[in-house]
Amino acid sequence: MPLSRWSSRHKKTFNKKKKEKWDGNFRLPPKPDSYYVQTKGCCRWCGNTILREDGTINTRKTWHEDCATEYLLIYSSGEQRAQLWNRDKGICNHCGKFSIGWQADHIKPLVEQKGVLEEDLDWSYYKLENLQTLCKKCHRKKTNSEVVLKGKGKVNYKKIV
């Protein structure tokens, strides 16, 4: 069940009739084809029918609860932080200290999805299991180590005078 409130910001994509072309932004991955289908009783995320307890199709819903949570984890940082707080309670995964100013961090950095084609995206990068709580100090250390690793693969060009 999503922990953050559904707001008008999330409603901007309702009633879009055709799929938008993905611009390659790894921070906002493309939505599935079922997201744009407007069949009553069909989940907008997974595309499966939504059933009531008695086995009939529920035409009043457009999301499974788990699918709504997964969607908001990917597209809403507020939901990410709420789910992360529920799981870790502000305790840093590296040093084990509680921090009021905790930060959410992707264990496998999202930048690794940069330049990947839509059909080759690894959706595990956007799951709750790939998120961790870090204090500011540990987050800075981890981010700096990732920048150094990314820099080693780059070619150094010398300026010609």
Q: How confident is the model over 105-137, as pLDDT tens digits? A: 999 988 888 888 989 999 999 999 999 999 999
> Computed from CA positions of residues 44, 15, 23, 104, in that sequence, does the dihedral angle turn out positive or negative?
negative
* Three-state SS at 49: strand
pLDDT of residue 161: 36
pLDDT of residue 159: 39
User: Which residues in the chain come in under a pLDDT of 50?
Assistant: 153-161
pLDDT of residue 18: 75
pTM value is 0.78
CA–CA separation, 25 vs 37, rounded Å?
Answer: 23
pLDDT of residue 91: 96
Instruction: List the one residue out of 132, 143, 129 whose CA is nearest residue 89.
Output: 132
Instruction: List the one residue out of 130, 159, 158, 134 whose CA is nearest residue 145.
Output: 134
CA–CA separation, 143 vs 103, rounded Å?
Answer: 12
pLDDT of residue 133: 96
Q: What b/e sequence results for 40-53 when a residue is b if at least 16 CB atoms lie within 10 Å of its CB, and e otherwise?
A: ebbbbbbeeebeee
pLDDT of residue 83: 93
pLDDT of residue 88: 95
pLDDT of residue 148: 63
